[in-house]
Structure 1
Amino acid sequence: MKTTNLLRLAATSLVSLAATLRYDLPFVQPRNRIECPSAETILKELKPLLSAQAEILIPSSPGWNKSSLRASSPRIQPQFQAVVEVASTKDNTPGRTDRDWLMRQTQIRYANRIGAPFLAVSGTHGWPLSLNTLKGGIQISLRKMNDSKVHPDGKTATVQGGTLQYEATKSLYSQGKKMAVTGLCECVSVAGPLLGGGHSMLQENHGFAADNLISAELVLANGSVVLVSSSENTDLFWAIRGAGHNFGIVTSMELKVYDAQDNWTMLTFVFTHDKLESYFSTWNQLESEYENVVGLPVVNGLFARNPDVDTANPVVILQVFFPGTNPIAGVYKQRFLALGPVVNVTTPDIEYVDLYTVGGLGMSSPVCREDNNLAGFPNSHAKWDPDAMRAGFNIFSELTADPTFNTSAWILESYGRHGVTAVAPSENAVAPEERQFHLLNSPLLWWVGNDEGDRKKAVEYGRRMQKAVGPKDRALFHAYVNYAVGTEALPEIYGRDSSRLARLERLKKTYDPLNRFGFYNPIV
């Protein structure tokens, strides 16, 4: 990896914690309740092990609530005794770093001694139920490790593990108008979506985010730091691109970067719900006509409440994004205009650095809100079923008539096929079905508070919507791992190829036999 000494020190404070997690003491499987010392004891004992720039918070600390907040809180709320905010700089002690110290002082086995599970976080936007199985643990926040640096060749960049998408987008753009294949919303991390595949605005030409990883620095469950790439630790390199949350903590990544095109255009159409069937039929027809053509625009749809358009029902929205001049996008515009939208807006000349904000995916957008009980119920398809989508829409309409849930939305996504199908499924651990079923949809249910009745209602309606639009044969069901709710079977998110699942399980036993990384859609 083309990493400067400073960037290689980005992991030092993290390793000072993780290097204590060796296998020489018994450890209970992470889904079980374990007893830990008090938060005050953890603070007292752990603080001397970290750099001066690192910070430890416990429930009585100022800033605790903010540090432990998630986008999906309180529905998803891992229970922590302490939050460690690791630093990316070296210790004030001249000539010594946390890594150097811990590699010499290997008798320190702090987390093993107290029997504490841990969870590394950056964007904190994941919502699988498995996160709630963490009890009495330590949260390792990577947010201070957020640097992005384009290499002299202009084709690659190093991005640190705690970097959010908006930070990487702005930083890479400022370094010669470069862009990396990241996730979809500015508030998510770069690493998080990549580890599960990573759909994006750029996948038509460049594939998934995981397909653009060149190498990564990875902290394993035993505290060792390894480099993974096509020439080093190749089995781990395969696994972390698609099932990476199960294998380690990514402290830095080397990614492919591309020249950013500035003149993006966004087309926006809003339809009343009576156009729903023709909306999906038109979308299907266009997907069929241009199935083998390179250069499809990004197409995002949405069901959402908008009383300015319809006071009684959700509306149906479509956004089409494309850089430069795109004749296919022109056909999309003509076809959807023919359906009679009540709103039709063309927004031209969008700089890439502003694309996500203009498109409603920015830091201040509703999709990036926090502490709102976010819950998703995904499906992936090769083709829309208009009748099934009508059935799902009616359920969504019924739920969102309740003011508790009226800010919810239902996302409908098509980010392009050419770039992802150009990569052989054997290249990495991204489920082959993810490359096959390119249409994603999921109700995103938001509500505020911790009322058990509201939670049950959300789950009941979410499951009904998921079933209504899903395949009649459950054997054909697939969900994007980063959208998974946590109740799916392993083949439904990691793929049905038994040999691939067996390979993941073998690698898990080799690199994380005690399942330290077992809280995000675990493979065991």
Structure 2
Amino acid sequence: MEVVAAVLAWSISAVCQNNAAAQWLSPLCTRNNSAALANRLSSGALIYSPGSDGFIQATSRWSAYETPGIDLVVVPSVEDDVAQTIKYANQNNIPYIAVSGGHGAIITESRMQNGIEIWMNQLNTVEIDEDIARIGGGALSKAVSHSLWDAGKQTVTGGCECTSLLGPGLGGGHGLLQGRHGLVSDQFISMNVVLASGEIKTIDKTSDLWWAMQGAGHNFGIVTSVSVKVYDVQYSDWAYEVFTFKSDKVEGLYDNLNVHLLNNGSPPLNIVNYGFFMNDPELDPKPIIYLWVIQEGATSVDSIYTKPFHDLGPATTDIGSGTYLDVPRWVGWDNDAAPCQHVGLANTRFPIDIQSYNVQSMRKAYDLFTDVTKKTPELNGSFFLFEGYPLQGVKAIPSESTAYAFREDNLLISPVVSWVPSGSDVAQKATDFGKRLRQILYEGTGKSELHSYVNYAFGDETPQNWYGYEQHRQQRLLRLKNKYDPDRKFSFYAPVA
């Protein structure tokens, strides 16, 4: 009987290595993979199969459109669990993808089918040693920010509390403190990364791979931990004013943003502006524009920055103050806010980095947004995001020193098209809508290049749009890809090739 069982297990394993067969033998293959893989993992690792509560939680995503096809979830408890999972998957011809906060919405991820999700949830430690912190690959931004704050420290993270440090960081990573310190990726000192071979490698600036991990890192491995620069908290006080504007203020608002806050590409070091327009029928039949002006090191925002917006005649205003940790709650980036909920909506983004606002283009985009969301009610939960962060720390770092290419761009713009998944018709309308909005902005730049922030990307962009148009950039990425991932195991998130 033992011989029969062994032969049967081998037969199942062999059949399950065939992706086509695995589709109709999925339940059997999943059980076989679970048992075989479990023997390789640490005692604290978890494996979730479809239908379990853990599987549902691990595979839920901010966007339910064009998602990866997951047959099994592995939750590593030590870094070697990631390596063992990759080795097992390679041996059995199973694709895999790493997930932290579940905000990766790029549609290229849907190319991963019948695969293993490596959920980094348990690799979430934050260890602080003077001016360096060692952070686990699955640590979310809130845990990082709050742990550092308790020690009188801070570093650059993404804005949302529910995204990981490394998810945005491997693609550059914008954040509130970037004016002082640069992008999230600019804080990296060293990292442990599991390569496509399953080898765990510790790299730093002496490695040829280091350049690529700062902007295109999703293509080269799974980072299980990273050491980052941390800084003493310089200013504990933060303040904000928030304005709402109606449709007649579009031109005045974006002109004021250009003149008074963007300041020819040299915005104030301690000022962040953030906003969006969306439908809010309780305030107005047409979309309402929201603008936050946020100041570091103040208990109230200096009027020199806000007076132009008061003079414009907002529909409403509000003010508040607190600490750095309060900012996500003010602007709707906290764990309880909509961007942190996984409720089954399709959310697609169409980003473009620009130098300054073309006021006429913003009017055209606003009018198109108004027209489409009224005529297509399925899309009226969409919004149009615009972000203006300080730039000094980002621009102080030579562009050629990292794979992140677009340091000279000043503004991050992203239409976010949201709908309840209900078939291909509305999905096509949503995609066309997002592309038309971005095309308006692109034409308004007057430039031949479209720069698209990889962490917000839709997925139909090119590697040039994500990683820069210079031939030497593309060639360097390709050489590194061929060296470290010749079989293209990491090619589901904005692939370089």
Tell me, yes or no, whether TM beats 0.5. yes
Aligned to 2:75: 85
Q: The residue matched to 1:278 in structure 2 has which SS? A: helix
Q: The residue matched to 1:345 in structure 2 has which SS? A: strand
Q: The residue matched to 2:481 in structure 1 has which SS? A: helix
Aligned to 1:190: 165
The match for 2:148 among 156, 160, 172 is 172
Letter aligned with residue 70 of structure 1: R
Inter-CA distance 288–225: structure 2 relative to 1 (3 Å threshold):
closer
Letter aligned with residue 425 of structure 1: S
Offset, 1:173: 1.4
Aligned to 1:419: 393
Q: Is the 8 A contact 2:293 2:301 kept in 1?
A: no
Offset, 1:98: 6.2
The match for 1:244 among 200, 217, 225 is 217
Residues 202-217 of structure 1 aligned to structure 2 (within 5 Å): 202-217=177-192
Residues 117-132 of structure 1 aligned to structure 2 (within 5 Å): 117-132=95-110
Aligned to 1:7: none
The match for 1:399 among 350, 358, 372 is 372
Q: Is the 8 A contact 1:201 1:298 kept in 2?
A: yes
**Counterpart Cα distance in 1 of 2:138 and 2:87:** 25
Letter aligned with residue 132 of structure 2: T
Offset, 1:44: 2.0
Aligned to 2:34: 43
Offset, 1:287: 4.3
Residues 256-267 of structure 1 aligned to structure 2 (within 5 Å): 256-260=229-233, 261-267=235-241
Describe the superposition over 1:3-27 as per-residue Cα deviations: whole angstroms up to 9, x where unpaired.
Answer: xxxxxxxxxxxxxxxxxxxxxx9xx
Q: Is the 8 A contact 2:239 2:300 kept in 1?
A: no
Aligned to 1:356: 328
Letter aligned with residue 166 of structure 1: K
Aligned to 1:21: none
Backbone CA RMSD of aligned residues: 2.4
Inter-CA distance 521–291: structure 2 relative to 1 (3 Å threshold):
closer
The match for 2:44 among 41, 50, 53 is 53
Aligned to 1:430: 404
The match for 1:338 among 306, 311, 319 is 311
Offset, 1:265: 0.4
Offset, 1:186: 0.9
Describe the superposition over 1:297-342 as per-residue Cα deviations: whole angstroms up to 9, x where unpaired.
Answer: 10112101222321x1111111011111499953220111110001
Q: Is the 8 A contact 2:173 2:184 kept in 1?
A: yes
Offset, 1:450: 3.5
Q: The residue matched to 1:333 in structure 2 has which SS? A: helix
**Counterpart Cα distance in 1 of 2:182 and 2:303:** 23
**Counterpart Cα distance in 2 of 1:41 and 1:426:** 47
Gaps of 5+ in 2: 1-13
Inter-CA distance 35–245: structure 2 relative to 1 (3 Å threshold):
farther
Q: Is the 8 A contact 2:271 2:294 kept in 1?
A: yes
Q: Which moved more, 1:338-347 or 1:397-406?
A: 397-406
**Counterpart Cα distance in 2 of 1:478 and 1:292:** 20
Letter aligned with residue 114 of structure 2: G
The match for 1:453 among 425, 438, 441 is 425
The match for 1:300 among 274, 289, 296 is 274
Offset, 1:292: 4.0
**Counterpart Cα distance in 1 of 2:429 and 2:19:** 28
- Matching of residue 199 in structure 1 with residue 174 in structure 2: yes
Q: Is the 8 A contact 2:38 2:47 kept in 1?
A: yes
Q: The residue matched to 2:215 in structure 1 has which SS? A: helix
Letter aligned with residue 155 of structure 2: A
Describe the superposition over 1:25-62 as per-residue Cα deviations: whole angstroms up to 9, x where unpaired.
Answer: 9xx9xxx9665462111112111111221111121434
Q: Is the 8 A contact 1:34 1:115 kept in 2?
A: no
Letter aligned with residue 379 of structure 2: F
Offset, 1:166: 1.0
Letter aligned with residue 208 of structure 1: L
**Counterpart Cα distance in 1 of 2:60 and 2:70:** 11
The match for 1:72 among 47, 63, 88 is 63
Inter-CA distance 476–46: structure 2 relative to 1 (3 Å threshold):
same
**Counterpart Cα distance in 2 of 1:195 and 1:417:** 19
Q: Is the 8 A contact 1:183 1:209 kept in 2?
A: yes
Describe the superposition over 1:113-145 as per-residue Cα deviations: whole angstroms up to 9, x where unpaired.
Answer: 321010011011011111010111110011111
Count, aligned residues: 473
Q: Is the 8 A contact 1:270 1:315 kept in 2?
A: yes
**Counterpart Cα distance in 2 of 1:223 and 1:62:** 29
Letter aligned with residue 423 of structure 2: D
**Counterpart Cα distance in 1 of 2:265 and 2:409:** 13
Aligned to 2:288: 315
**Counterpart Cα distance in 2 of 1:396 and 1:217:** 44
**Counterpart Cα distance in 2 of 1:447 and 1:344:** 29
Identity %: 33
Offset, 1:88: 3.3
Describe the superposition over 1:88-130 as per-residue Cα deviations: whole angstroms up to 9, x where unpaired.
Answer: 39xxxxxxx8699x7xxx9x95323321010011011011111
**Counterpart Cα distance in 2 of 1:483 and 1:365:** 18
Q: Is the 8 A contact 2:265 2:355 kept in 1?
A: no
Inter-CA distance 57–513: structure 2 relative to 1 (3 Å threshold):
same
Describe the superposition over 1:205-254 as per-residue Cα deviations: whole angstroms up to 9, x where unpaired.
Answer: 111111111111111111111111123x2x11111000000011111111
- Matching of residue 481 in structure 1 with residue 454 in structure 2: yes
Letter aligned with residue 79 of structure 1: G
Inter-CA distance 482–293: structure 2 relative to 1 (3 Å threshold):
closer
**Counterpart Cα distance in 1 of 2:267 and 2:369:** 34
Offset, 1:382: 0.2
Offset, 1:478: 0.8
Q: Is the 8 A contact 1:131 1:520 kept in 2?
A: yes
Q: Is the 8 A contact 1:304 1:316 kept in 2?
A: yes
Offset, 1:447: 1.6
Letter aligned with residue 381 of structure 2: T
**Counterpart Cα distance in 2 of 1:148 and 1:467:** 41
Letter aligned with residue 356 of structure 1: P
Q: Which moved more, 1:208-217 or 1:46-55?
A: 46-55
**Counterpart Cα distance in 2 of 1:259 and 1:305:** 41
Q: Is the 8 A contact 2:154 2:230 kept in 1?
A: yes
Gaps of 5+ in 1: 1-24, 90-96
- Matching of residue 282 in structure 1 with residue 256 in structure 2: yes
Q: Is the 8 A contact 2:258 2:264 kept in 1?
A: no
